[in-house]
Structure 1
Amino acid sequence: MINQILFCFLLLDAFILYTNAQQSYSGISALDCSNNDKSGPSSAFLYTCNGQNRYCKAFLIYKSQPPFDTIPAISTLTSSNQAELARINDVTEDAKFPTGKEVIIPVNCSCLGQYYQANATFTISSIHTTYYTVGTEAYQGLSTCSSLIRANPHSEFSLVPGTELNVPLRCACPTSNQTKVGTKYLLTYSVSFGDNITALSDRFNASIKNANGLQEKETLFPLTTILIPFPTEPSSSQTIIHKEQSPFSPPSENYPERRRRSKRKLYEGVGIGGACFLLVLSIILFTIFMFNKRKNIGVSQSGNERSKKNFVQPEDLRVEIASFEQGLRLFTFQEIQKATENFSSRNRINGSVYRGGFGRGKILAVKRMKLDVSKEVKLLKNINHFNLIKLQGICQNDATFFLLFEYMKKGSLRDWLNSQSPDEIGSWTRRIQIALDVANGLHYLHSFTKPAYVHGDIRSTNVLLNTSLRAKIANFSLARAVVNETSSVSLTNHVVGTRGYVAPEYIQTGQVTSKIDVYAFGVVLSELVTGKDAIIVQDGREVMLSAAVVSITKTEYAESELISFIDQRLICDDRTELALRMAQLSVACLTEEPTKRPSMEEVVSALLKIRADAFN
């Protein structure tokens, strides 16, 4: 009887801890590559969306290790802002850290589907790479094997050097209960050998036990993560150097045996934990109840929270250049002349954009402009996202400006869609990924920049593809800041944009909101589905592709007509149901009333679901 009463008290104590916790600690199950979440959201994948906000600023701690031991390298690894990374660690933007030094990484954490995540990319460099080693060795447990498998279309046996992986990083936003007690930020900490709850709580002056639903003496497993609550931004003074930090290296030859041993330990742990089944079941039921309850609560963000910044004036361009991060280079006109062979026609990519070789095999795209570029430069200086083209350098020669960007070998999406080569037309899964790349880039612009920006000229020629056919948004010359979703910085009678992509409300009123990007994205999505241009010819006259797609969906035999309208080169792909779902999403983006169009966050969630179904 006494044992039963004791068990009830233990159950009650665990329940109280869990109701105050952001997430329950996943334990060693986070290291298992065969996890699934069919029974409900699992913290062994990523942290679930049970916070007060759907997106927020969050932090990670990464332990410096070669080759990821400098600010630029860690920024690239985690797709984080280089200037912010240097600022919060109180170092310069070209700093190098000693091996094992804890580095604080600020990230934009967003709820996509049912999980929070910060998006990063990783380029495979070794033939020995697996999802397990990417999650545990390159990212030190800040991503999980199972979430990597779900986020990428590649099988583990097709991970070859040069392959780019989507990496969902573990992050979370505070719950309403945590916010009430003063928590503003959550930091994801990767557990090291020897770490324990008491020592970490003392070091960070935080209630780690409550934040993770932990028991007092519970074991923390290396390469798993816990959340640390902070009332203010974490400080570099709270970081330490771990003396026994092994450098990043390919897995050893006995990797399969090591993984079998890891699984054997996991199964032993599960057997021991069988007696706690009732406790786990209670927690899961409570989680599902709270998750469903919070899904019905709308979270809005006040436009007043967005800071206002004045645009840089042309005469301030040199001052702006002087403040650029170390990774951005100021080129001379002579260097550009030599690299482009004096702007030779054979180096012309398109219009006033040239390809230039800058030594050691480095190729950049050089964009020549007569207009003032200060506004575009200021925006590009402050954004850092894999799906937005990266500015590498700048040059001014008299009244002419040259912007130097990363070179995208496959050219524009429009060029790729026009290709007649069977090897180049791709597949439905490839086109879904391209759509998701563009959507992720726009979601970042709309939700994670301060002030929020709209691109203003989304079109298939402004979507560029790299060698892996990953998409990046380019040409920010028409980008502008917006205050919120219902008002614009200014109304203009001079409407600028590209025919076939301009939203109707922008033409009618000149109002600029993020919904004009959503509309243009709907056109690009229609192009991906049909393979056609934004302006097509029907019955001898020009017709907007967007109008044609929308009109088809209103007919009695909409599905059969859409099937005949989609890219016939991919009919043999036998995944036309995916194309139909993409077409339906494009129609939602093309809704005439802007307030009825989905946000880019909702578009990303829809495309993630389509992509997940594509691989089932």
Structure 2
Amino acid sequence: MQALASLYSANASLIKPINKKGKTDYLVSVPCTCEDIDNGTVGYFHDTPYTVKAGDTAGNITSFLFSGQAYNISEKLMAGVAIIVHLPCGCYSALAAGQSQLVTYTVQQGDTLSTIADLFDSDVNSIRMMNTRLTVDPEFLSPGWVLFVPMGMKQNNNQEQGERSKKTGFALEISIPIIILVIGGLILFFYWKHKSGQSVEDPKELKDRSISKIGSHGSKFSHKDSTKDLLPYESERPLIFSLEELEEATANFDETRKIGSGGYGCVYFGMLGKQEVAVKKMKSNKSKEFFAELKILCKVHHINVVELIGYTSGDDHLYLVYEYVQNGSLSEHLHDPLLHGHQALSWNARAQIALDAARGIEYIHDHTKARYVHRDIKTSNILLDNGLRAKIADFGLAKLVERTGEDDCFATRLVGTPGYLPPESVCELQMTTKTDVFAFGVVLAELITGYRALFRDSKEANKMRSLISIMKGIFQDEDPEAALEAIIDGNLKGRDLLLLLPSRSYSLSAFLFRLGIVGDTEEKMPELQLGAHTIRSHGTKVARFHMHDWIILLLLIVIDVVLNVIEPFHRFVGKDMMTDLRYPMKSNTVPFWAVPLYAILLPLAIFSAIYFRRRNVYDLHHAILGLLFSVLLTAVLTDAIKDAVGRPRPDFFWRCFPDGKDVYDNFTTSVMCHGEKSVIKEGHKSFPSGHSSWSFAGLGFLAWYLAGKIKAFDRRGHVAKLCIVFLPLLAAALVATSRVDDYWHHWQDVFAGGLLGLVVASFCYLQFFPPPYDMDGWGPHAYFQVLADTNTAQVSATTNPLHLRQSEMETVYASTEQHNDLIVRDTNRILDALEAGRRH
């Protein structure tokens, strides 16, 4: 023992015997210092003097006296000369906190990493980390190799695992209750929606309910013939409300509930139970219009005529309650639609609206017991439901006409809206069904051109021009098609439009028939306006259908948390690599906590703003779902690649050696870091850039979404739209650039991260939405599927929604050279063919 202490220049009391396979070896504790030995080699060594004996060689001294651990003994030895033997030591600072002993061990025959670890109460992974030569083949050991073995690492690892488990447990203590609360909240929400859905009052029961007697209100009507006028309506059992009910339904006729106004009064949105209604509040001097609507709408029941639910009177006002038609008037969709929160109507949608309006007008003309003339057909009196199907409204000026051989009836006063009145009505006060047909022709012209019926002359600002005068000029032009094409609404796509243009020989029915053929044989669905599917009406259905998608999102969150907790792969970092890894450590220009703000919360705010304007839960839900999938999938892919690649960051030198004193393995020149473990761990996560991938995943999805909403690819060359689309991408690019400027990433890391995020965002967007350049690119796939299913069900359930009579003749107004001839033709076969075409 004393001889061993003398050989190693050690304290004999610090030498401990160890038993290895029945053979006694010794563990010699010696002090080590960092020194510069010959040839400029810097490292940790223990120096011991040795007097050369006769016959000694460098190999003998190294292999037999010092177990192969002597470093670089000179071959030129002389007996009796004292030399200094350098014995390599491992770097203490590279060990875990609290580690104080590192064994320099020579591999012997039959050794494995496991047996060596057991011998010194060490850990296999710790041995691998201390000896970079083992990274090539960790299971291969060659006798004579010198390894650095950290002693007592099992105990230290147990402590670290305990601390880590505490941290993990703490994280789980926080995350698990949050997840449980979220899931519980979703379950309670769905349960509440389900129960509230069951409690909705049956509309049929609501309609059969009798609230009060009309006699209590009759005395308040100003006209003496009120009782007479009410008799036909009473026989149809209308719903009579109390004034208190309507006040409660409309929040006491709050101004925020007002959805329309005119000379008759105002229209308010209301809720009667769970039913949405529109309440028209009329002035008491409008009782004539009030009774006109009562008499007609209680007898007219058609899918293209607005439905009257009930009425009441009181407080010097008269009230009519209608079904609520969600998408407002046709006028709002044709004239400055964006100002009213609507998308411009597509050609197919306009064709369908024209057909619906024509059927509604035809019904009140020819398929009711009494024939009625509306007398105020215009775009503001054509309402659109959630599928952009048209309904004729406002029958306050409607008049009963006799079914006689007389073509003309005469009115005592001129009624209607300027721009929609035919010359005969203006000059001769004529009132026939042809009056409505003429006004409908103006509506058709508005659908094609987007102009108003009356508009200010561009040449003479103090004069007004009528759309009819423009259309007459077109038909008299040498090239009517070219003239009409020049004033077509700029929002129309123009496909097959010229095939639909009516020549002078076409009757209105023939023109409508051609509209119907093209509109109903289109391969794709008509572009319909979002707006009627709210969270309240459809939220439960949408969320329940996509419940599995939300569960997958929760799993992605868990996976990403695990990927951030585990230790990344530590790629070999040598001394000669430090030139590219010596950039200074800087703080983040864009902190990590800011990334979710602009990559997730900002798009969510934009989605919500669009929802509150258009009220479509399908668009909101799928936008949120697509965004979250884009960000979370990108996060999982990014963190998985980071852990697998383990590329060092540009500032890795200062993470590894915060004091600037770099230390390397003597044999492999691998770094021997002595910085903070968490900082070093983060230093091995350079590729790809997480900030870049997250930014392009969230803002890239937003760019796709905006491109679809503003129709950036409508082939009209609006540069402003491109600027809006590229703005989120510019923000993402600036964030990515800051990662290179901060020396947190190499440029390749940023490029790969941005590309990864943009690709994932594109796939996720196209999973839920059509491409922005598609004609249906403004809405989600699910919305069009719902509309298709609804239309299929309606067609299957209704074989003859118009109740057409086989012998009816229609009188239509057709444009001729004199513009006032009438053509009488049988249109029932055309309409029947049209209905058959729609069914097939």
TM-score interval (norm. to shorter): 0.3 to 0.5
Q: Which is higher, the Rg of structure 1 or of structure 2? A: 2
Larger fraction in helix: 2
Q: Name which structure has the greater RCO, CA cutoff 8 Å, separation 6+.
A: 1
